[in-house]
Structure 1
Amino acid sequence: MPEEKLEPSQGYSSGPIEPRSYGRHLLERFSEKVDSTVGAVPLLACCFATGLTDGTLYNAYGTFVSMQTGNTVFVALGTSGQNNKPYGWARSLCSIGCFTIGCFAFSQLHKLIGGGRLRRTLCASFLAQTICVVVAASIIQAGVIDGSYPSNRNPADVNFAELAIVALLSFQAGGQIVNSRALGISEVPTTVITSLLCDLVIDERILEPFRKNVKRNRRVVAFVLTFLGAVCGGWISKATGAVQPSLWFVAAIKGTITLSWVFVKKVN
């Protein structure tokens, strides 16, 4: 009986099997959508970074870079001459403007790269945030701007170069909340406490067992981490007598988050 020949269509290759190139595998990996359930963990780490940044910057320069409600009040008080820090309203106004620009810029970055849940988009977004924090910390470390704590300068002296630090940190903070929206984890906005607490206490399922209300759990953890971050920011500044150590800490957190997106599991 003649030997039956198997055609390639029957599941066999007519030629040698070529191994998939590493570059192709890497490209496919960065084109995957990440699992938002696991992706909530890096966002919770951002809450700690937010508290750390705002706790440090408020003590040093009298403004926030994430909490824009407070900045809006500072600007309003400044217009009536009630702000007791010279040109404090300018720092707050700079923060509001750069935060808003950051939100717009990062949202456009998401559209340009292909979507907020793609691995490559999240890596690029957090890499940009890390670079902003590193540049801000480097400016202070180089002595271009006074980073001593408590400040040795005369309160009446105004150094508008400080706006560079406020601008960089506020801009990157906009990226955090854009990422939380893109991942569909709006219960962890990373930069807003007011709405987070409101959503927590009005949750009709607030008293359900731990495993049955994930959103409530995330809100509680987000609040606690933001609070602890602010406490740590104050402690670090007081212990070191400088602002930049806290910022280097934030940069390390952001850098770690950037790398973590490479390993977060994809959507099945």
Structure 2
Amino acid sequence: MPADGKEEEPALPIAHPPPAREETRWTAAKTRLLTEVDSDLAVGPLVWFCFMTGYMDAVSFTATYIWCAFQTGNTIQLSLSLAKLCTGEPRLPTWRISDRQALCSLLAFLCGAWLGRIGDRIGPKKRVWLVLGTLIQAGFTLGSCLCAHASGESSHGSVEGDPSWTSVLGFAALAFASASMGLQAHLGTRLGSQFATSVVLTGIWTLLVVDKKLFEVNHIVKSRDYKGLAILGTFIGGLVGGALINKIGAPATLAIGAGIRVLIAIGWIFTPAAKKA
């Protein structure tokens, strides 16, 4: 007891200010971006990836008769061109403009897929990479839009089979479109879902038809239903892309495609996270 006979009042605890709300939100957002998504629950973004496959292929094929996503046809076209060159048959045209466009598309597609190696370092299933990778695809799609517009070339190839987009800017438009699909294929491959790469339908068609549970109708079968969604999404994408090209042309259609990719990137933020083992 103190000398004056008065009892000391207990010391009050030191009040620490609560953490700033902005900092808390940033920490939560950062944590969410660094988590991995559940591939089996990423149905929404992956269906839209398939939609973009049909959509972008509709644009490139209408203008050049080249698939910017389906590289099997471009590879065979190049092999046929090489066969003509090797046989030396003078009646057969070699190294046509369409052959050059096929090579341009293939190389750009591979460059886009190679760019996806950035995600391998970050984490191929991490939300931050899926968002960033999809935004890069949007940038490539916008680049294709700007080049197609600046070229001033027709959005449609000729009825005789001669392709459009034959200028330098036309080739650049095709290259940007193909690069966007290559990067999309890389993201789809690394996710390892039932949607496969989201750009190759031959394998998906085959796996769908041979699925042992193809005719089960009492419950959901992921191995069957997701493949069906991939095919349907690609088909609708081609349908929508083709209709828009006929109405507003390739540049505007590509601009809309870039916007769709931005929305897909936002969709990755809300995709459920993978469960911890």
Q: TM-score range by the shorter chain?
A: 0.7 to 0.9
User: For each residue in 1:112-148, what CA deviation from the matched residue of structure 2 results, as whole angstroms up to 9, or x when unmatched?
Assistant: 3x2111110101100100000011112223x334144
Give the superposition deviation at 1:64. 1.0
CA distance in 1, matches of 2:203, 2:264: 24
Q: List gaps (5 residues or longer) in structure 2.
A: 1-13, 86-91
For 2:10, the equivalent position in structure 1 comes to none
CA distance in 1, matches of 2:232, 2:125: 26
Q: How does 1:46-57 map to 2 (within 5 A)?
A: 46-57=49-60
For 2:183, the equivalent position in structure 1 comes to 175
Choose 1 or 2 for highest CA Rg.
2
For 1:60, the equivalent position in structure 2 comes to 63
For 2:119, the equivalent position in structure 1 comes to 110
8 Å contact from structure 2 (residues 38, 274) kept in 1: yes
Of 87, 101, 112, 1:91 maps to 101
Give the superposition deviation at 1:156. 8.9
User: Which secondary structure does the structure 1 equivalent of 2:272 belong to?
Assistant: coil
Structure 2 length normalisation: TM-score?
Answer: 0.81
CA distance in 2, matches of 1:230, 1:68: 16
For 1:244, the equivalent position in structure 2 comes to 251
For 2:19, the equivalent position in structure 1 comes to 18
CA distance in 1, matches of 2:154, 2:125: 37
Alignment root-mean-square deviation, CA:
2.9
* Percentage identity across paired residues of the two chains: 23
CA distance in 2, matches of 1:58, 1:16: 62
User: Which secondary structure does the structure 2 equivalent of 1:211 belong to?
Assistant: coil
Deviates more, 1:63-72 or 1:178-187: 178-187
CA distance in 2, matches of 1:23, 1:224: 38
Structure 1 length normalisation: TM-score?
Answer: 0.84
Q: Are residues 1:205 and 2:205 paired?
A: no
For 1:35, the equivalent position in structure 2 comes to 38
The alpha-carbon distance between structure 1 residues 76 and 83, as it changes in their structure 2 partners (threshold 3 A), is: farther
8 Å contact from structure 2 (residues 64, 157) kept in 1: no
Give the superposition deviation at 1:197. 0.5
Q: How does 1:219-238 map to 2 (within 5 A)?
A: 219-238=227-246
8 Å contact from structure 2 (residues 46, 195) kept in 1: no
User: Which secondary structure does the structure 2 equivalent of 1:212 belong to?
Assistant: coil
CA distance in 2, matches of 1:179, 1:208: 30
